[in-house]
Amino acid sequence: MQKIDVAILGATGMVGQRFIQLLQEHPWFRIAALTGSERTAGRSYGESCRWLLDGEMPASLRDMAVLGSEAELNVPLVFSALPSSAAGPIELRLAAAGHVVCSNASNYRMEPDVPLLIPEVNPEHLGLIEVQRKRRGWRGAIVTNPNCTSTPITMAFRPLLDAFGLRKALVVSMQALSGAGYPGVASYDAMDNVVPYIGGEEPKVESEPQKMLGTLADEGIVPASFATSAHCNRVPVLEGHLECVSVELERKASLDEVIAALRGFQALPQELRLPSAPPQPIIVRDEPDRPQTRRDRDEGRGMATVVGRVRPCSLFDYKFVALAHNTIRGAAGGSILNAELMLAQGIL
Amino acid sequence: MQKIDVAILGATGMVGQRFIQLLQEHPWFRIAALTGSERTAGRSYGESCRWLLDGEMPASLRDMAVLGSEAELNVPLVFSALPSSAAGPIELRLAAAGHVVCSNASNYRMEPDVPLLIPEVNPEHLGLIEVQRKRRGWRGAIVTNPNCTSTPITMAFRPLLDAFGLRKALVVSMQALSGAGYPGVASYDAMDNVVPYIGGEEPKVESEPQKMLGTLADEGIVPASFATSAHCNRVPVLEGHLECVSVELERKASLDEVIAALRGFQALPQELRLPSAPPQPIIVRDEPDRPQTRRDRDEGRGMATVVGRVRPCSLFDYKFVALAHNTIRGAAGGSILNAELMLAQGIL
Amino acid sequence: MQKIDVAILGATGMVGQRFIQLLQEHPWFRIAALTGSERTAGRSYGESCRWLLDGEMPASLRDMAVLGSEAELNVPLVFSALPSSAAGPIELRLAAAGHVVCSNASNYRMEPDVPLLIPEVNPEHLGLIEVQRKRRGWRGAIVTNPNCTSTPITMAFRPLLDAFGLRKALVVSMQALSGAGYPGVASYDAMDNVVPYIGGEEPKVESEPQKMLGTLADEGIVPASFATSAHCNRVPVLEGHLECVSVELERKASLDEVIAALRGFQALPQELRLPSAPPQPIIVRDEPDRPQTRRDRDEGRGMATVVGRVRPCSLFDYKFVALAHNTIRGAAGGSILNAELMLAQGIL
Amino acid sequence: MQKIDVAILGATGMVGQRFIQLLQEHPWFRIAALTGSERTAGRSYGESCRWLLDGEMPASLRDMAVLGSEAELNVPLVFSALPSSAAGPIELRLAAAGHVVCSNASNYRMEPDVPLLIPEVNPEHLGLIEVQRKRRGWRGAIVTNPNCTSTPITMAFRPLLDAFGLRKALVVSMQALSGAGYPGVASYDAMDNVVPYIGGEEPKVESEPQKMLGTLADEGIVPASFATSAHCNRVPVLEGHLECVSVELERKASLDEVIAALRGFQALPQELRLPSAPPQPIIVRDEPDRPQTRRDRDEGRGMATVVGRVRPCSLFDYKFVALAHNTIRGAAGGSILNAELMLAQGIL
């Protein structure tokens, strides 16, 4: 199979670098273009980017030119790691020009005709693309992946909702520093500290899961009807968002049934053997003290959701802990899996 | 006023050292005896203790002998920093011998005739001492302070319960490393990690507040009837337990009323001007990102509870963040304040 | 005594806030003016500054206006916490206008007619002010304090140089995050990491001590002749620069003599009982594992230098560890002590 | 090729787990036996070991029995991760019984007839085995790898010594927490702190390199004659020992020559393509701020030494920074590479 050329928008930032890292040896996609800010455009990637991830910048990209955000991109597929302050008009223009844009930005996530996609959770929402193309009159598409904090809980909610229904969820997150981008959180704010606030995060966590777990109807998505309350915190860890969750189900379920539903979760990306799909979408650990952020965030090459401490809750029905890698599954890796699904489904 | 001689049990550990630090310049109490383990007994404090807190071991204690746990103590008041594995029989023996034991251990907290005391919350529970003395036939007493995670939430619940009633509370803690004692959590487990489990902690947080907020009746304490669910986590901070709380009230209350109740909370230790009482028992901060563990844990010399982010909760009525210093207010300082109240009330 | 009005330049940054904190209850100085950047000038301090240090911004300053850097300052004494990129012309203008400027910036440290001052080390260098005033034709003055990494080693070198002569010093620093200002080091660069490079730092550490330990002659300072090599590293600690030092002395000295020289060091600020002077300028610890950054940085309210592990070096004569608080002794506190000395000496 | 059965002594500790991790997919060796302490012997590995490294314990070992230290081992090759307090008699007994013991313990490192081996540095020292066998009258062997702090500097010294001679080296280490084993350093000692002392470390760093860089003569190793002074520090990073080094050479060399010697270093393990040998033994980075502990410790799957900041030193000739992964290259990985060399050389 010939690889598909892709562009990465915002390639010099934290998430842009993750896209590059994950696409280095990708069997289906090939990095053909990189864009940066006004400041970096026109220089090589090696000159304009300080590599933040472990190890060295991939040698093959050192000499690739960084394009401006207005550049014509001669690729069918575009991954956007743009900040939401910049993403809006750029992504629109590219979709209108016929590109498929897999965006990590929050701008269009809640638009009625834009899929907010986790391939294991709501692959059928790709049906919105037809609606989107008709309504917007373009041949391209915008497909988004959710906020990094919405991701692990939505993954865990899918089998619970299917098996038992879901009425309420209270979520308290302990989020990694990398989620704030780079330079992001100042070290003087981060060390030996918890900051119990992340701007704009809680509303996302309280609304994105409902859209993803909603049903695709003629006129768009009918959101799932459960209610969520979120408390979002920044804790001094590098990568990995860990969340404490209490859920109330629609129907009675035993602890064993709940654990079995989570552990037995099967989904389309695994069936299709998409390259970035983890072998198991949800890993349930039985030890009392797992998942732990550092020890479990890399499961499934950072693409698995690790769940543990499933136990009764005296106020709701059950409580548990869920963890996912925020800049892999919760950002770049999630976007890439979306593109893989689209290619496998013939949409790309 | 002549100072009262006190002993510190378990004086070489993390909480024992906090007792020593806080009692160094205490206006009412004077350290007259220290006890340690079998291993340390018979040596000087300087020889047997590696000082863990900032700065140097107080010079005045270097040459004080460390007594064994079976030693006769010629002091009216005993502070116990013993681990629960050792505290049981030792505290019993001392109370039976006529000492007032202010204990930080969990062993007797839930005993029906033992006060579980926060002076701002339930000073009237000292009435149990009479019951205790009668039932046990001793002239001494055991008075306990709660688990360090129960402390800040119970402090915040007091004014809410009084003003609006309290039906439910969901609590997610992010607890400091020092709460595990010394050596406690291995650094290899702590750094760049969240451990979502602390052995035995959740049941304490789900039961101690109800006892403290219960009413003293003839036959003992009738616990408050609200229900609590707790998720307890260890995060990489040195000191300070920060907790995300969602509460459901008995009666409707506006956000302003809730904030006013917390901020206006007045209590007996402040009225009595007890030496360790913070000027304000609860400090409410208005910034969106406070309290923060490192920046706010030392408020009121580590004795205040700092509350922030009071806001509506879509599942319960309100949610907020509460913080207190776990080895000061949540341990040694809490115990000392208990003793101050007893002295002020003529019980000691 | 009536307090002297002072201004703080660059009052909203990390070092500016330390000045404010340290001057809050100062017996001799009173904060009368604050300056900020173009962005903040004209607003109140409460509006323009996010308080970074522990606890709350001092209430008394919330409503004080932040002046622009061009403002006329009606105060005799000015503390400068300006970055070196801005300090140059502003400090010049103020000195020319008759103000005494105690500057933390590096711009004029190595100027031949500007004292680079540590009151315990080279108080006689204040004699340069007369030279400075004559040469520059102004009534004001610029007095500087050294780089935060030069401070603790120069303090330790003073008694060694006096007693034994000093030929060579090799210094490896492990410096705190706060030394980079705010936001300074990104948390993603700091956590679980050592960065073995701090821009511009090593040349300062290799030249400033020689100036300070030089002798005041008619034509200016004749620098001390020992040679220094520095390796500067950023390590993940909040405050406190710890340095490993190997020294070669001019004359043979026993280990006991070296320790005695350090421990017995007496200096003018202690003799004059300057308000910010620590009781002992150098504290020598005997434990094998002290000083430790967190446990010892606050000695003498952050103004002491703590030395430990004094022992023979197989390549030089002796090696030891030195520690000082970088934003107190190494920055704001050092500047304030300089001003105190000038006032005590009748220069201010 | 049929894999060789190996045993791991002390398999439940931090270094023991690294052996297991690194041997999981090893092309030449197969784990056939595990030993533990008295406490764990007789139980399965899954029961007796809490897995500390990232991810899960390898499933294939869960049910393997943990043997006592006195067990007969039916394998030709034994890797010892025993603490030095236990290693002495056990390793002796096994070598006497005919096993080749690749030991990570310090007990026999400086014995005249025991190779202290880094395959890139002194492969010819394996010649000592013949001496050892003759003198001790056994068919087995003890081969040791150096202290984790000696490793990266000795690697860098090899090409410098060969090209220019080496007269003096001053070394200041910033060592990872994992180097202390598990539980090792208490988190309360580690966070926001530097501990400038590691028991017993400095003498090792001041003597092991000389043995390794010595020449094999008839009567044993004649140590290299350069002098070393070491300052060893514990800093809050998880893995990776970073060291600041100043060296004085025998012969003049330009900066370019020094860098070329380091970068061009070729060694036997790379030539033999040993499975654990990194592609390049020494990686020289040109950026001013590299190597950094977290970002560079995994180079060459944790087996490379990364050097940077090579520059003139005003006291010695040159200074630089060297980094290696302490529990991979500096412990388990180093031991495994030793065994690979022995197998390739026909000694095993």
Which pLDDT tens digit goes with each residue over C109-147? 999 999 999 999 999 999 999 999 999 999 999 999 999
Across the beta sheet with C4-9, the strand order is: C66-67, C29-35, C4-9, C77-80, C100-103, C141-144
Share of chain D above pLDDT 90, in %: 96
- d(CA C181, nearest CA chain A) in Å: 9
Domain that includes residue D259, residue range? 150-325
C10: left (phi over 0), alpha (psi -120 to 50) or beta: left
CB B193 within 8 A of CB A293: yes
Give the number of B-D residue pairs with CB atoms closer than 8 Å: 63
Among the listed residues B284, B330, B334, B333, the one whose alpha carbon sits nearest the alpha carbon of residue B309: B284
Both tokens of D39, joined, read 């406490």
SS3 content of chain B, % helix, strand, coil (to 5): 35, 25, 45
Search chain A and give the residue with CA nearest C294. Answer: A192
List beta partners, residue A246.
A170, A319
Flag if A298 and D192 touch (Cβ within 8 Å): no
Which pLDDT tens digit goes with each residue over A74-92? 999 999 999 999 999 999 9
pLDDT band for position D311 (cuts 50, 70, 90): very high
Mutate to test the interface with B, among A193, A234, A319 (most CBs of B within 10 A): A193
pLDDT value of position B177: 98
- d(CA A237, nearest CA chain C) in Å: 8
- Please tell me the distance from the alpha carbon of residue B240 to that of residue D326, in angstroms, as a whole number: 32
Q: Determine the average pLDDT of the residues in A250-278.
A: 98
Flag if B54 and C294 touch (Cβ within 8 Å): yes
List beta partners, residue C217.
C220
CB C69 within 8 A of CB C37: yes
pLDDT value of position C172: 98
When CB atoms are compared, the residue of C246, C292, C316 closest to D193 is: C292
SS (H, E, C) A178-243: HHHCCCCCEHHHHCCCCECCCCCHHHHHCCHHHHHCCEEECCEEECCCCEEEEEEEECCCCCCEEE
SS (H, E, C) chain D: CCCEEEEEECCCCHHHHHHHHHHCCCCCEEEEEEECCCCCCCCEHHHHCCCCCCCCCCHHHCCCEEECCCCCCCCCEEEECCCHHHHHHHHHHHHHCCCEEEECCCCCCCCCCCCECCCCCCHHHHHHHHHHHHHHCCCCEEEECCCCCHHHHHHHHHHHHHHHCEEEEEEEEEECHHHHCCCCCEHHHHCCCCECCCCCHHHHHCCHHHHHCCEEECCEEECCCCEEEEEEEECCCCCCEEEEEEEEECCCCCHHHHHHHHHCCCCHHHHCCCCCCCCCCEEEECCCCCCCHHHHCCHHHHCCEEEEEEEECCCCCEEEEEEECCCHHHHHHHHHHHHHHHHHCCCC
Let me know whether D86 and D109 are in one domain.
yes
Residues of A in contact with B238 (CB under 8 A): 192
Let me know whether B259 and B284 are in one domain.
yes
C1 pLDDT higher than 90: no
- Please tell me the distance from the alpha carbon of residue B131 to that of residue B127, in angstroms, as a whole number: 7
Among the listed residues A89, A116, A130, A95, the one whose alpha carbon sits nearest the alpha carbon of residue A7: A95
C246 pLDDT higher than 80: yes
B1 pLDDT higher than 80: no
pLDDT value of position D19: 98
Among the listed residues C230, C200, C225, the one whose alpha carbon sits nearest the alpha carbon of residue C211: C225
Search chain A and give the residue with CA nearest D294. Answer: A54
CB C5 within 8 A of CB C75: yes
Which pLDDT tens digit goes with each residue over D112-171? 999 999 999 999 999 999 999 999 999 999 999 999 999 999 999 999 999 999 999 999
pLDDT value of position C236: 98
Search chain A and give the residue with CA nearest C178. Answer: A188
- Please tell me the distance from the alpha carbon of residue A281 to that of residue A340, in angstroms, as a whole number: 15
Flag if D299 and A55 touch (Cβ within 8 Å): yes
C265 pLDDT higher than 80: yes
Residues with Cβ < 8 Å from C122, sequence gap 6 or more? C115, C116, C212, C213, C214
In this complex, is the C-beta atom of D290 within 8 Å of any C-beta atom belonging to chain A?
A: no
CA distances in angstroms from A87 to A23, A83, A99, A132, A149, listed in the order given: 21, 6, 15, 18, 20
pLDDT value of position A55: 86
When CB atoms are compared, the residue of A195, A242, A314 closest to B194 is: A242
The DSSP 8-state label assigned to residue B51 in this structure reads: -
In this complex, is the C-beta atom of B327 within 8 Å of any C-beta atom belonging to chain A?
A: no
Residues of B in contact with D189 (CB under 8 A): 52, 183, 187
Which position has the token pair 């599942």? B315
pLDDT band for position A72 (cuts 50, 70, 90): very high
Distance of CA A80 to the CA centre of its chain: 12
Search chain C and give the residue with CA nearest B301. Answer: C55
Q: Mean pLDDT across chain A, nearest whole number?
A: 97
CB A318 within 8 A of CB A5: no
Share of chain D above pLDDT 70, in %: 100
Mutate to test the interface with A, among C17, C53, C188, C189 (most CBs of A within 10 A): C188
Q: What CATH number has the domain bearing residue D71? A: 3.40.50.720
Let me know whether C195 and C265 are in one domain.
yes
pLDDT value of position B39: 84
User: Which of the residues of C are catalytic?
Assistant: 148, 241
Residues with Cβ < 8 Å from D15, sequence gap 6 or more? D81, D104, D181, D327, D331, D332
Single-letter amino acid code for the residue at C9: L
pLDDT value of position D40: 83
* 3-state SS, residue B44: strand
D219 pLDDT higher than 90: no
Let me know whether C218 and C290 are in one domain.
yes
- d(CA A215, nearest CA chain B) in Å: 23
Flag if D191 and B177 touch (Cβ within 8 Å): yes
In this complex, is the C-beta atom of C183 within 8 Å of any C-beta atom belonging to chain A?
A: yes
Q: What CATH number has the domain bearing residue D165? A: 3.30.360.10
Q: Which long-range contacts (CB under 8 A, 24 or more apart) does A269-275 make?
A: A269/A119, A269/A120, A269/A123, A269/A337, A269/A340, A269/A341, A270/A120, A272/A341, A272/A344, A274/A119, A274/A337, A274/A340, A274/A341, A274/A344, A275/A26, A275/A27, A275/A28, A275/A340
Which pLDDT tens digit goes with each residue over C171-220? 999 999 999 999 999 999 999 999 999 999 999 999 999 999 999 998 89
D6 pLDDT higher than 80: yes
pLDDT band for position A126 (cuts 50, 70, 90): very high
- Please tell me the distance from the alpha carbon of residue A287 to that of residue A309, in angstroms, as a whole number: 7
Let me know whether A182 and A263 are in one domain.
yes
pLDDT band for position B161 (cuts 50, 70, 90): very high
- Please tell me the distance from the alpha carbon of residue B239 to that of residue B302, in angstroms, as a whole number: 10
pLDDT value of position C38: 81
CA distances in angstroms from B318 to B165, B305, D167, D237, D293, listed in the order given: 13, 18, 70, 39, 44
Return the sign of the alpha-carbon dihedral for residues C99, C103, C108, C109: positive
Which pLDDT tens digit goes with each residue over C295-343? 999 999 999 999 999 999 999 999 999 999 999 999 999 999 999 999 9
* 3-state SS, residue B227: strand
Residues of C in contact with D192 (CB under 8 A): 236-238, 293-294
- Please tell me the distance from the alpha carbon of residue D280 to that of residue D296, in angstroms, as a whole number: 14
When CB atoms are compared, the residue of C184, C188, C189 closest to A188 is: C184
Let me know whether B164 and B102 are in one domain.
no
Let me know whether B206 and B308 are in one domain.
yes
- Please tell me the distance from the alpha carbon of residue A83 to that of residue A103, in angstroms, as a whole number: 10
B38 pLDDT higher than 90: no
Residues of A in contact with D300 (CB under 8 A): none
- Please tell me the distance from the alpha carbon of residue A276 to that of residue B224, in angstroms, as a whole number: 52
Residues 50-79, chain C, touching B (beta carbon < 8 A): 53-55
Write down the ipTM of this complex: 0.97
- Please tell me the distance from the alpha carbon of residue B126 to that of residue C179, in angstroms, as a whole number: 50
When CB atoms are compared, the residue of B195, B227, B319 closest to A292 is: B195
pLDDT value of position A37: 87
D255 pLDDT higher than 90: yes
Q: Determine the average pLDDT of the residues in B100-113.
A: 97
End-to-end CA distance of chain D: 14
pLDDT value of position C282: 98
pLDDT band for position D183 (cuts 50, 70, 90): very high
B231 pLDDT higher than 80: yes
Let me know whether A112 and A137 are in one domain.
yes
Among the listed residues A224, A185, A226, A228, the one whose alpha carbon sits nearest the alpha carbon of residue A206: A228
Q: Cα-Cα-Cα-Cα dihedral of C199, C202, C208, C214, to 10°? A: -160
B42 pLDDT higher than 80: yes
Let me know whether B114 and B254 are in one domain.
no
A1 pLDDT higher than 90: no
- Please tell me the distance from the alpha carbon of residue B212 to that of residue A94, in angstroms, as a whole number: 62
Let me know whether D238 and D94 are in one domain.
no
Note the helical H segments in C25-83: 45-48
Flag if B170 and A242 touch (Cβ within 8 Å): no
Residues with Cβ < 8 Å from B337, sequence gap 6 or more? B119, B269, B274, B276, B277, B303
D237 pLDDT higher than 80: yes
Let me know whether A180 and A312 are in one domain.
yes
Q: Which of A99, A148, A232, A325 is catalytic?
A: A148
C192: left (phi over 0), alpha (psi -120 to 50) or beta: left
Residues with Cβ < 8 Å from A260, sequence gap 6 or more? none
Mutate to test the interface with A, among D52, D187, D235, D295 (most CBs of A within 10 A): D295
Share of chain A above pLDDT 90, in %: 96
List beta partners, residue C311.
C319
Flag if A296 and D55 touch (Cβ within 8 Å): yes
pLDDT band for position C102 (cuts 50, 70, 90): very high
B311 pLDDT higher than 80: yes
Among the listed residues B236, B258, B266, B273, the one whose alpha carbon sits nearest the alpha carbon of residue B307: B258
Q: Mean pLDDT across chain B, nearest whole number?
A: 97
- d(CA C281, nearest CA chain B) in Å: 15
Share of chain B above pLDDT 90, in %: 96
Residues of C in contact with B299 (CB under 8 A): 55
Let me know whether C20 and C60 are in one domain.
yes
* 3-state SS, residue B62: coil
CB A337 within 8 A of CB A276: yes
Q: Name the domain count of chain A.
A: 2
Q: Where are the beta strands (DSSP E) in chain C?
A: 4-9, 29-35, 66-67, 77-80, 100-103, 141-144, 166-175, 215-217, 220-222, 227-234, 241-249, 282-285, 305-312, 318-324
In this complex, is the C-beta atom of A188 within 8 Å of any C-beta atom belonging to chain C?
A: yes
Q: Determine the average pLDDT of the residues in A18-39.
A: 95
SS (H, E, C) A284-306: EECCCCCCCHHHHCCHHHHCCEE
Mutate to test the interface with B, among A171, A185, A244 (most CBs of B within 10 A): A244
